[in-house]
Amino acid sequence: MTVTATETGLAARMRTGSQAEHNDAESSVFMNALLKGEVNETGYAEYLVALRPVYEALEKVGRELADHPVVGALIDAGLERLSAIDVDLEHWAPAGAPTFESKAVANYVARVNATLDDPVLYVAHHYTRYLGDLSGGQAIGKLLGRAFDIDDKSGLSLYEFPAIDKPKPFKDGYRLRLDELDVSEEDRARIVEEVRVAFSLNSAVFAELGRNMDRYQR
Ligand code: HEM
């Protein structure tokens, strides 16, 4: 019998508990334009530059928590995105990565770093970005490839997970690991709340990017 995540387990609660925030992130001006192929190379490069410090923090904290009795179960070097972002930036900004001064990015990074003092909350940040990259991210990668006529996946490494055979079974396993985390009910509720925070932190970054649409319009 295959064991799967349950409808009432932590994984399901994280998904349903953040549905409204997921919808908000999805329908932001910047994301909408990105999905319609209306964001140019500069805009996409700045999006990567904005995400870069977030992944840097996620991966640094993740390594520090790799042996943590709860969080350790989720850490997987095959998910790391930092070097993929650097490879992609060479494609989208060959003359050098742009700068993107951002209060929203600084807030997001600070929140991820703060989980070092409250490691169960790291689970929420790990889930929000990495499961997102393996879910909607896959569709975003395909849309970008089509919009920019990329047939060799060049510039789209963010959506490629060479260490993961297929996203679906990986995500099923990940959800099962979430359900099996040895955390109290109180911590489960705190993790669900932190997922909502993580989505809002993403939306704040997208809102900043959205204010530059005059420069990004394609
Ligand atoms: C335009 C943007 C987006 C689209 C079209 C999109 C679409 C989707 C879709 C269709 C799924 C379900 C996939 C499945 O069942 O396997 C999904 C799941 C998910 N997305 Fe998004 N998404 C977008 C943006 C985001 C953003 C910005 C984040 C977070 C930063 C995010 C995080 C997630 C997460 C964590 C899941 C997994 C939900 C779960 O099964 O627990 N998504 N997304």
Q: What is the pLDDT of residue 1?
A: 56
Q: For residue 14, is it within any domain?
A: no
Q: For residue 183, is it within any domain?
A: yes
Q: For residue 41, is it within any domain?
A: yes
Best residue for ligand 1 mutational test, from 47, 55, 135, 196 (most atoms within 8 Å of Cβ) = 135
**DSSP assignments along 45-102, one per residue:** HHHHHHHHHHHHHHHHHHHHTTT-TTGGGT--GGG--HHHHHHHHHHH-TT-PPP---
Q: What is the per-residue pLDDT across 73-123, written as a single tens digit (0 to 9) for each?
A: 999 999 999 999 999 999 999 999 999 999 999 999 999 999 999 999 999
Give counts: helices (H), strands (E), the chain: 12, 0
Rounded Cα distance, 60 and 11, in Å: 24
Q: For residue 10, is it within any domain?
A: no
Q: For residue 1, is it within any domain?
A: no
Q: Are the C-beta atoms of 122 and 115 separated by less than 8 Å? A: yes
Please report the atom of ligand 1 found closest to the CA of residue 131: 35
The structure tokens 């930092």 sit at 82
Radius of gyration of the chain, Cα coordinates, nearest whole angstrom: 17
Please report the atom of ligand 1 found closest to the CA of residue 135: 13
Rounded Cα distance, 8 and 204, in Å: 29
Give just the sign of the alpha carbon dihedral 161, 148, 136, 57. positive
With a 6 Å cutoff on the Cβ, whether 35 touches ligand 1 is yes
Q: What is the pLDDT of residue 5?
A: 82
Rounded Cα distance, 21 and 169, in Å: 25
Question: In whole angstroms, how far apart are CA 190 and each of 25, 75, 103, 196?
Answer: 21, 20, 25, 10
The pTM for the full model equals 0.96
Q: What is the per-residue pLDDT across 25-62, written as a single tens digit (0 to 9) for each?
A: 999 999 999 999 999 999 999 999 999 999 999 999 99
Q: For residue 2, is it within any domain?
A: no
Q: For residue 6, is it within any domain?
A: no
Q: What is the pLDDT of residue 168?
A: 96
Over range 143-171, report the average pLDDT: 96
With a 6 Å cutoff on the Cβ, whether 167 touches ligand 1 is no
Q: Let me know if 157 is exposed, middle or buried by CB neighbors in 10 A (0-12, 13-18, 19+).
A: buried
Q: What is the per-residue pLDDT across 192-218, written as a single tens digit (0 to 9) for each?
A: 999 999 999 999 999 999 999 999 999
Domain around 158: 20-216
CATH of the domain at 43: 1.20.910.10
Ligand 1 centroid to Cα of residue 25, in Å, is 9
Give the up-direction half-sphere exposure of residue 149: CA atoms within 13 A in the CB hemisphere. 0
For ligand 1, atom 36, the nearest C-alpha belongs to: 132
Contacts of 34 (CB under 8 A, 6+ apart): 43, 44, 47, 140, 143, 144
Question: In whole angstroms, how far apart are CA 70 and each of 16, 84, 89?
Answer: 22, 27, 34
Q: Number of folded domains in the chain? A: 1
> Which residues in 99-113 are b (16+ Cβ under 10 Å) and which e?
ebebebbeebbebbe
Q: What is the pLDDT of residue 4?
A: 81
